[in-house]
Amino acid sequence: MGVFDFLKAKNFNENDDGFEKKDARRDNRDDISKSSSGSASTQKRGFTISNNGPSTEIKPRPSLDNSVDSSGRAKAKFEPSNYPGVTKLALEAQRVAYDNVIRRNPNVQVATQDELGVQSRSVSDLQYRRFASYIEEQSGIVLGDSKQYLVNSRLSTLLIRFNIPSIDELINKAMNPAVYKEISTAVIDAMTTNETLWFRDNYPYLALKNIILPELARRGKSPVRIWSAACSSGQEPYSIAMVVQEQATQVVHVDPANTQITATDLSPEMVERSRFGLYDSHALARGLSAERKAKFFKPTKDPNVMEVDDVIKSMVSFKQFNLLNSFSLLGKFDIIFCRNVLIYFSNEVKAQILEKFAGNLNPGGYLFLGSSESINGLTDKYEMVRCNPGIVYRLKDR
């Protein structure tokens, strides 16, 4: 796979952070696939349509309230999804998609999944509970009691990729990583939310440039070590590197050549994507000024894609890393960014991670969390520093 294909491979929901919003949109897409018999089929919630050749019969699905036409045959009827988070607009999109399929397929047959031999894209209740425990154990991500729709929508595409007929079977394999490593990695990856953007929330980068880096420069700190601990597709560590370059024009500054940025994420795919440093126009439009784009990016052969400049790239080293693991081999940092990932974890796991960060910060080191995250009731190792705008946590003196 070329790098440009790779860039397009994972389907991003760049505008959302929330589980519901993201997957409400996915849920409303038609999922066109090949059925096991090789005939084209379209599977939607509430009905399955199969174009199996010159059939003239319309089989009603028992649960549908079908009307009957003049020849006595039952007619298919649109039945909207009642999945949580489905918006009015999405329901309209479902209806249009349904109508289009019916219009293009005069011999359309509406039948149950069982009749067509198409297996389930819905996780069973028992399997959901097993899977939720497994995901929490492996990644810290808490799914809660009612995120079946999320599992269905995120894992559906993997059924095709791994040629597995049902979500339950996919989950069985994923939970056996010793045998099905690739499936297991892909399934955990699919359950992460990778929403990110350049200079997210702005205030951490202002605090870095105007308060923290000058303080480290005055203390003669060298090298300066910064960790972006859930870096997703790389916007956060590259934004940090850009700020480090920009502050080098100030009288008091740290040396960019002696600044090491370590960027880690659970997702191997995100780490690989970050290393490429390629961003399409959609990603570039989110949080990046025209000035920074001109200064820190170079064009590629694809006019829609730009690449992070080599100087910025050389400041960041990426690696796959699970925040549930021991941090002992990572060394000490002056600043840690751990933004918009603790929200997915239980309080117990949040507290453990905050304690571990404290052990990996140099004296007086700083911790940035996401703007909706806090350490309240989780640890007493840090003091809050107001930066106006925003806050950062500083490791307390022992």
Minimum Å gap between C-beta 204 and ligand SAM is 9
Question: Which region, judged by CB under 6 A, interacts with ligand SAM, from 74-82, 105-113, 138-146, 175-183?
Answer: 138-146
Structure tokens at 27: 């849920």
CB closer to ligand SAM, 78 vs 203 = 203
- Binding of ligand SAM at residue 190 (CB under 6 A)? no
Minimum Å gap between C-beta 44 and ligand SAM is 29
Of the candidates 27, 136, 195, 334, which one interacts with ligand SAM according to CB under 6 A?
A: 195
CB closer to ligand SAM, 122 vs 274 = 274
- Binding of ligand SAM at residue 270 (CB under 6 A)? yes
CB closer to ligand SAM, 87 vs 325 = 325
CB closer to ligand SAM, 59 vs 273 = 273
- Binding of ligand SAM at residue 339 (CB under 6 A)? yes
Select from 211, 217, 209, 215 the least CA-distant residue to 243. 209
Select from 103, 117, 101, 106 the least CA-distant residue to 54. 106
- Binding of ligand SAM at residue 139 (CB under 6 A)? yes
CA atoms within 13 A on the CB side of 167: 22
Of the candidates 22, 25, 121, 200, which one interacts with ligand SAM according to CB under 6 A?
A: 200
- Total number of residues binding ligand SAM (CB under 6 A)? 24
CB closer to ligand SAM, 67 vs 133 = 133
Of the candidates 194, 239, 259, 274, which one interacts with ligand SAM according to CB under 6 A?
A: 194
Q: Is the distance from CB of 45 to CB of 83 less than 8 angstroms?
A: yes
- Binding of ligand SAM at residue 192 (CB under 6 A)? yes
- Binding of ligand SAM at residue 22 (CB under 6 A)? no
Burial class (CB in 10 A: 0-12, 13-18, 19+), 147: buried
- Binding of ligand SAM at residue 341 (CB under 6 A)? yes
Minimum Å gap between C-beta 373 and ligand SAM is 10
Of the candidates 265, 278, 296, 366, which one interacts with ligand SAM according to CB under 6 A?
A: 265
Question: Which region, judged by CB under 6 A, interacts with ligand SAM, from 117-125, 134-142, 218-226, 244-252?
Answer: 134-142
User: Pattern of binders to ligand SAM over 219-258, x per CB under 6 A?
Assistant: -----------x-x---x----------------------
Of the candidates 196, 259, 274, 360, which one interacts with ligand SAM according to CB under 6 A?
A: 196
Of the candidates 91, 102, 324, 385, which one interacts with ligand SAM according to CB under 6 A?
A: 324
Select from 262, 188, 254, 196 the least CA-distant residue to 225. 262
Q: Enumerate binding residues for ligand SAM (CB under 6 A).
A: 17, 139-141, 192-196, 200, 230, 232, 236, 265-267, 270, 322-324, 339-341, 370
